[in-house]
Amino acid sequence: DIVLTQTPPTLSATIGQSVSISCRSSQSLLDSDGDTYLNWLLQRPGQSPQLLIYSVSNLESGVPNRFSGSGSETDFTLKISGVEAEDLGLYYCMQTTHAPLTFGGGTKLELK
Amino acid sequence: QIQLVQSGPELKKPGESVKISCKASGYTFTDYAMHWVKQAPGKGLKWMGWINTYTGKAAYADDFKGRFVFSLEASASTANLQISNLKNEDTATYFCARGPYFDYWGQGVLVTVSS
């Protein structure tokens, strides 16, 4: 199974600060069709997960453009350019290139 | 608007069965796969498997083979998850999510297994 390792596990930020979360995969997530199926999700407290970014760098409709994704093969990054209060919660990367689908362990973004 | 609305919370005893539903609206149900995800209390997300909403064929992650069954009521745009012979470790919130990008999620169903 693909293991996704997220760092850091916890991130403390002030409002307006820019932060990054790393997701490292145990194998390349480049699919034979040429796409890389690495998504980023946010789960706010008491809520369902919400898709932020799909296929590494594509912003889901309705998601603010302060969120951006980058990376390739095994190393991926989610960046938030100017944290807002509504961004607090648990961030997960997930891969859908290889079965079984897997999630990272999560990164908790909290206010400093 | 697109919605996935799941059934309500369940309290069950070990050995019992439970059936959770996920009703889709706002899109053509059979055009998108449905995935199931488990979240134990205070833990992360775990993919359980998925069902092809057009053919009805299901695939399960290894940890969810045997007691877990995905099914459809396609005429009602509904996907179901049935868990038999419930164990304490099945206590969790179960989410349905639309494939392939997990762009819509149900609100989750808390299943509590306790004697």
Q: Count the helices and strands in chain A (H runs, E runs).
A: 0, 11
A44 touches A70 (CB < 8 A) = no
Average pLDDT over residues A22-32: 97
B2 touches B25 (CB < 8 A) = yes
**A48–B107: do the CB atoms touch at under 8 Å?**
yes
Q: What is the pLDDT of residue B108?
A: 98
Nearest to A48 among B35, B101, B108 (CB): B108
Pairing of strands B46-51, B34-39: antiparallel
B103 contact A CB<8A: yes
Minimum Cα–Cα distance from A94: chain B residue: B45
- How far apart CA B57 and CA B77 sit, in angstroms, is 15
Q: What is the pLDDT of residue B51?
A: 98
Q: Name the B residues in 65-94 with CB < 8 Å from any A CB.
A: none
Residue that is written with structure tokens 């009521």 in the block: B73
pLDDT above 90 covers a percentage of chain B that reads 98
With bands split at pLDDT 50, 70 and 90, how would you rate the model's confidence at A112? confident
A48-74 pLDDT tens trace: 999 999 999 999 999 999 999 999 999
**B45–A48: do the CB atoms touch at under 8 Å?**
no
A52 touches A43 (CB < 8 A) = no
Nearest to A27 by CA among A3, A50, A60: A3
